[in-house]
Amino acid sequence: MEKLKSDISKIAYYCFYLGIVIEVAMVIIDKSAYTNPIEGRLFQITFLLFLLKVCMSRYAPREYLTIFLFCILGAVSYFITGRNEVIRLVIFIAACKDIDMKVCLKTVFYMTLVGCGLLIFLSLTGIYGDVSLTQEYGRGGVETRYTLGMGHPNALQCMVWALTVLGLYLYGKKMKWYHYGLIVIINFFFFLLTDSKTSFLVTLFTVMIAFVISLKKNKWIQKISIWICFGVTIVSIVISVVIAGNAYRLQRHAEGQDSSFVTMLLVRVNNVLNGRIRVLSGTTNYEGTIQTWSLFSKPENNYYFDMGWVRLFYWYGIIPACIFIAVMLIIMWYCYKNKHYMAVMMIASFALYTVIEAHGISVYLARNYVFFLIGAYWNYALCGGKENESIDHESHSIHFRNG
């Protein structure tokens, strides 16, 4: 019997990591110039792999009930919108039970780093992918900016930001001040290539917060930085909703019908965001604005735009979006209470970045590292941290007692 349990545990473990490897590989392929012809089939395979992991895992009654209720949410979302991302996410998060998430995220980190390095190498050597892209970027003229095999300069800077955030989460507490300085220099180098100002500024914010958190002797400064993270997360969501509710003003302003203070303020914000708000009011039906939102979205809500929080409500509906935000804030609070400050930092960085880019709101689970944090902590937050575990606050790892 013990050998059978051990074999089942090993199979579950390998199923989970095979799913992770495939998901990360799809992220790298998506960033390249290659179009993956079997992407849909791979999503089905990873779903089945994570489902197998769930079926071979043991849960507390409260956890089973939670999984069941969220599966209902995912099923409703799928049948109404035709999108399967919600149910895939639910199964993935449930499958994270008993997985050492720090080890998992290290796998994600190094796979992504090697994958991005390979794309850069292939482009610089002329084997595959473009080194730069010359076009009009909505800033008043034609520009040449570097892509290094990732299709768009913003995509390149995005991956630099994502790797920076994940690296800080994994190693930030052990880093010295000069390590943080080196990270800033590396990000500035890529900024010179891409000229992606917003991504670079979000990275600077993230590095500063992580550096303050790493100063263990300054507890008050640590807590202030954490509350800043909470504030940034909430304000990022609120601002996105306000923008979606007022984007129509830009169209009215362009037609000479509205020059109010609020409209002119929105015009300035739109200019800072390189026309991202104007995109919402530039379609016939004002796609992405609040008037196109519904409780569970609609199959025809498939328009692509950059603003991530707006896309979350538009693609998936008000109910799934609000539930995800609530779960994310609960996990943030749990991490704060248990002094997992780097996790709070990572969530805040994703929240801020998602205002301007939809990198984390996509069909690719491995793009959004917040999903992994939810997977790591959901059962502990649900059960009040009493399900036979002890938490190492320094390493953020979770150790299980026998029995």
The pLDDT profile of the chain, 403 residues, written as one tens digit per residue, is 777 888 888 999 999 999 999 999 999 999 998 999 999 999 999 999 999 999 999 999 999 999 999 999 999 999 999 999 999 999 999 999 999 999 999 999 999 999 999 999 999 999 999 999 998 777 667 889 999 999 999 999 999 999 999 999 999 999 999 999 999 999 999 999 999 998 999 999 999 999 999 987 778 888 899 999 999 999 999 999 999 999 999 988 888 888 899 999 999 999 888 888 988 888 888 999 999 999 999 999 999 999 999 999 999 999 999 999 999 999 999 999 999 999 999 999 999 999 999 999 999 999 999 999 999 999 999 887 543 333 343 333 433 333 2
The sign of the CA dihedral 201, 234, 312, 113 is: positive
Q: Which pLDDT belongs to residue 401?
A: 33
Q: What is the DSSP string of 45-114?
A: HHHHHHHHHHHTS---HHHHHHHHHHHHHHHHHHHHH---HHHHHHHHHHHTTT--HHHHHHHHHHHHHH
Q: Which pLDDT belongs to residue 7?
A: 86
Q: What is the DSSP string of 219-263?
A: HHHHHHHHHHHHHHHHHHHHHHHHHHHHTHHHHHHHTTS---HHH
Q: Which pLDDT belongs to residue 105?
A: 97
- CA pair distance 234, 229, nearest whole angstrom: 9
Q: Which pLDDT belongs to residue 259?
A: 86
**pTM (whole model) above 0.85:** yes
